[in-house]
Structure 1
Amino acid sequence: MLRITLPSQKQVSPVSAISRVAIIGGGFTGATLARLLALHGRYRPHEIVVFEARDHLGGGLAYDTDDPSLRLNVAAHRMRAVPGDPQAFVRWLSDSGRLEQDPGAVVSGAIYARRGDFAAFMAAQVQPFLDDGIVRHVREHVERIHRHRGRWQIEGDAGAMVQADVVVLATGHPAPTPPDVLAGLSGDPRFVRNLSRPDALHAIRPDDKVFVVGAGLTALDAVAALRNRGHCGDLTLFSRTGHLPQPQAAGDFAPHGDFLIGVPNTALSLLKQVRFAMQEVTQAGLPWQSVFDALRHQGQTIWRNLPLVEQRRVLRHLRRRFEAHRFRMPPQIAELVACERAAGRLRACAGQIIAVQPGRDQIAIDIATKPRGVIERHIVQRIMVATGPNHGNVIDSQGCLAELEHLGLLTKDPRGLGIACDADSRAVARDGYPVEDLFIAGPLARGTFGELTGVPEIAAQAERIVQQIVAMSFATTRTITIRPM
């Protein structure tokens, strides 16, 4: 006969002795996760593994650039990248000498740093943990993620194979998807479909007329990068609405508006509250930007209180207007845009592309313009896509994610904003239940959290994910012993 006893309070070796965390993506999100995990001091060498094909961690698609014209669209003192140390980036800019080397960074007393400087700052934050071996950087793209004998197995495109107990997907922003009407340009060297490629602008001649599909911050990055390279040809920024990002306000001001009192539960009620708050600040002589800063700080709570049907309504009717006010251009870019428009070299137009006719030396684009639907023809030498990332297509765009979806371990966000996850950032499987050891970090989780694009919000989410992983790894357990009678 066997007797089962349950010794109470018996300690066993922590799971951390054999656990490994694999982070897929080493941009800001992935580097922050790795650093926060390493700070717990309980991981052995190479137990935190980051798959990132770039040479350095921390930059990613957003910040990995050496173009000095590309700047952060938020003042440095608002880049709260290090939890518990909100001024870490500002201090590093001064201590490293980077600020002194960038005389154009300070505008109206605020620092709008180069993006490459922020990438260097983040690389410096994680470097000590790479040096001591706690964090391992695998410079490969991930091709497969699958279950193998109860653990995760991650396989890179150059032969790396890592087994892990927890996986965090932090791959960030997927590439844009060109409008269907541009499909006939596929393979044409005059068509630039992905501005994130290092050589995307190399073939553009100084006097080429360029038609940019998109009018957000990505499009303005293209304008700045082209002008920095000596391009002087005409530029047209095209979108359905024609709205360009708004400028940042000068000075330091507090957020205005409390949207958590009587939290709006419809798109219409949210719009009414925002309009009322805008009227209040305007009458008080405050910048309207203060209202959108309040929306940002309260955004996750507001989003969670909207039913799914209302979230979709917000995305359908208010998204572009919100993004033009939320994702504002830094003053250096605002000055460039104003000068280019005044000189007639930069134009924004709204409408719908109805036809594209590639010729030998040029491309003709026909647009039904808003609001009257007049057909307008543009003759250009280059077309580039700057519509921003297609989060709704992220799973299909990466083979390793598509395989996880095929296995039933990932599902698309029902709002079209990335990957479905629960309030604890755990991936939601096909059966509707969370996958306990698979987390979604950063912008891929926007559908659940709403406001999850800015550095402070991503850093806060990363901190919560790390707390959950640590709690999973270092939990003590009760044991069962079986003794013969």
Structure 2
Amino acid sequence: MLRITLPLPRQVTPAPTISRVAIIGGGFTGATLARLLALHGQYWPHEIVVFEPRAHLGGGLAYDTDDPSLRLNVAAHRMRAVPGDPQAFLRWLSDSGRLGQDPGAVAKGAIYARRGDFAAFMAGQVQPFIDNGTVRHLRERAERIHRRHGRWQIEGDVGAMVQADAVVVATGHPPPTPPAELASHLNGDPRFLLNPSQPDALQAIRANDKVVVVGAGLTALDVVAALRNGGHRAEITLLSRTGQLPQPQAAGDFAPHGDFLIGVPNTALSLLKQVRFALEEVTEAGLPWQSVFDALRHQGQAIWRALPFLEQQRVLRHLRRRFEAHRFRMPPQIAELVERERAAGRLRSCAGRVAAVRSGRAEIAIDIATKPYGTVERHAGQWVIVVTGPDHGNVIDSQGCFAELEGLGFLTKDPHGLGIACDPDSRALARDGHPVEHLFVAGPLARGAFGELTGVPEIAAQAERIVQQILGMSSATTRTITIRSM
């Protein structure tokens, strides 16, 4: 028997199969996706639906703040947020008057804008499409996602129900999970703060309360800046496994240095050797070491894809923390604050692991087995704030709609523990390892497949690729003719 499949003729111009797209999350990633889809003009009103409980799209957890002390850790001219218009944000800062209202923005010869300004910029990018009805912003959190009659059905926590042909998961970073020793002793204690990014989360901390911050990355420094901006004066202690703080940005404008795609490293060790060699080169040339890490960032996705799975694991195990301390750098304003607070003895850091926790009425005491000597130091404060970084390994368990998709076999955890498993086309991988059509993973949750997918330019580029895939899906149907051999 011979079976031939032929396209079914049509009398009208084919329209996209994807007649409605639901985007889960309306931060930078979700807003960028919605805007790019709307720009193509192929969708009727309300056919691009964004589930986002915040009042505006574009800010999300990273940028939705009114605190003027919280700044972008990248200079404004490097915030290539709009594909095809790399200077859009810098131009908007000037044209909107926001730059003139921010006298502290310029540092080391560059503009480090307030995060709230970037959120306002992104909201302005997508608002015209909300106003004309092309994009529908549902101020709800997606609670359930499942298949119904061949389409995706999404249910919100306030009662919305939307059927869509494609779903893009764009929720960004999940919350941190505290060290088990802390959680077992302090869960339920109002002095134990697990989400300092929530509005007014730090408001109850008094000016003379000592604070212990568990974590030492950029979010920990955000806590320091926000506390000091609010009038806090007491000692702050940063606890982390390595004690490494983010490195500062360099002055001046410089090009990335290092071509890691010539003889692409295929082991963690060979990658480390290439980085060290590039660092020696820039040192001899009098260039900043930051130029090497900028090159690593730009070439990061190609480097990651070239590494076998076990070597990717070695990179994460042995090199990740050192890379992140140099990749995610603090803006000059925060670097000055850290230096000033350390010199005054109001900011300390300690490397080690939590050995014991004692919760008393007046304060919480934490014993740290320090590195490298193993001696025990006691640190105490009236408040303990957890900023250990997003728990990407448990992102599916952290949201009911993702857990449901996993239960149905449509989602799986990334084997590196970096988020949700997807293929190079950003399609979610099912339980059987095959890509799920019309279910995409965008932004940081797709890092397991791409390696470098945290910065604004990289996310914008991935969003553009996803949009092109969605737009390229035609509605050409097929019919099957069966020819029986005589």
Would the TM-score normalized by the shorter structure come out above 0.5? yes
Aligned to 2:256, the other structure's residue is in SS state coil
Match of 1:173 in 2: 173
Q: Is the 8 A contact 2:52 2:139 kept in 1?
A: yes
Match of 1:116 in 2: 116
Instruction: Return the letter of the residue paired with 1:44.
Output: W
Residue-by-residue CA offset, 1:209-263 (whole Å, 9 max, x unaligned): 1110000000000000000000001011111100000000000000000000111
Following superposition of structure 1 onto structure 2, how do residues 224-373 of structure 1 map, counting pairs within 5 Å? 224-373=225-374
Distance 1:422 1:153 in 2: 23
**Structure 1 residue 202 and structure 2 residue 197: aligned?**
no
Aligned to 1:247, the other structure's residue is in SS state coil
Instruction: Return the letter of the residue paired with 2:304.
Output: W
Q: Is the 8 A contact 1:429 1:435 kept in 2?
A: yes
Match of 2:386 in 1: 385
**In the TM superposition, what is the alpha-carbon distance from 1:378 to its structure 2 partner?**
1.3
Taking structure 1 as the reference length, the TM-score comes to 0.96
| Aligned-residue RMSD, C-alpha | 1.7
Following superposition of structure 1 onto structure 2, how do residues 151-166 of structure 1 map, counting pairs within 5 Å? 151-166=151-166
Instruction: Return the letter of the residue paired with 1:362.
Output: E
Distance 2:353 2:172 in 1: 29
Aligned to 1:318, the other structure's residue is in SS state helix
Q: Is the 8 A contact 1:16 1:43 kept in 2?
A: no
Match of 1:64 in 2: 64
Q: Is the 8 A contact 1:11 1:477 kept in 2?
A: no
Match of 1:73 in 2: 73
Taking structure 2 as the reference length, the TM-score comes to 0.96
**In the TM superposition, what is the alpha-carbon distance from 1:385 to its structure 2 partner?**
0.3
Instruction: Return the letter of the residue paired with 2:405.
Output: L
Aligned to 2:143, the other structure's residue is in SS state strand
**Structure 1 residue 48 and structure 2 residue 48: aligned?**
yes
Aligned to 1:313, the other structure's residue is in SS state helix
Q: Is the 8 A contact 2:77 2:89 kept in 1?
A: yes
**Structure 1 residue 417 and structure 2 residue 418: aligned?**
yes
**In the TM superposition, what is the alpha-carbon distance from 1:345 to its structure 2 partner?**
0.4
Q: Structure 1 residues 7, 86: closer, same or farther in 2, change over 3 A?
A: closer
Match of 1:106 in 2: 106
Q: Is the 8 A contact 2:20 2:47 kept in 1?
A: yes
**In the TM superposition, what is the alpha-carbon distance from 1:364 to its structure 2 partner?**
1.1
Q: Which runs of 4+ in 1 moved over 2 A?
A: 4-18, 474-482
Q: Structure 1 residues 11, 80: closer, same or farther in 2, change over 3 A?
A: farther
Residue-by-residue CA offset, 1:127-170 (whole Å, 9 max, x unaligned): 11001000000000110000011100000000000000000000
Give the aligned length.
479
Q: Is the 8 A contact 1:413 1:419 kept in 2?
A: yes
Distance 2:256 2:18 in 1: 46
Residue-by-residue CA offset, 1:290-342 (whole Å, 9 max, x unaligned): 00000000000000011111111111111110000000000000000000000
Distance 1:243 1:346 in 2: 14
Gaps spanning 5+ residues in structure 1: where?
A: none
Gaps spanning 5+ residues in structure 2: where?
A: none
**In the TM superposition, what is the alpha-carbon distance from 1:196 to its structure 2 partner?**
2.0
Distance 2:114 2:301 in 1: 28
Q: Is the 8 A contact 2:254 2:291 kept in 1?
A: yes
Distance 2:434 2:159 in 1: 32
Residue-by-residue CA offset, 1:346-393 (whole Å, 9 max, x unaligned): 011101110000001111111111111111111211110011111111
**Identity of counterpart residues, as a percentage?**
80
**In the TM superposition, what is the alpha-carbon distance from 1:109 to its structure 2 partner?**
2.3
Name which of structure 1's ranges 13-22 and 59-68 shifts more when overlaid on structure 2.
13-22
Aligned to 2:144, the other structure's residue is in SS state strand
Match of 2:94 in 1: 94
Match of 2:401 in 1: 400
Q: Is the 8 A contact 1:215 1:237 kept in 2?
A: yes
Distance 2:326 2:53 in 1: 33
Distance 1:269 1:261 in 2: 12
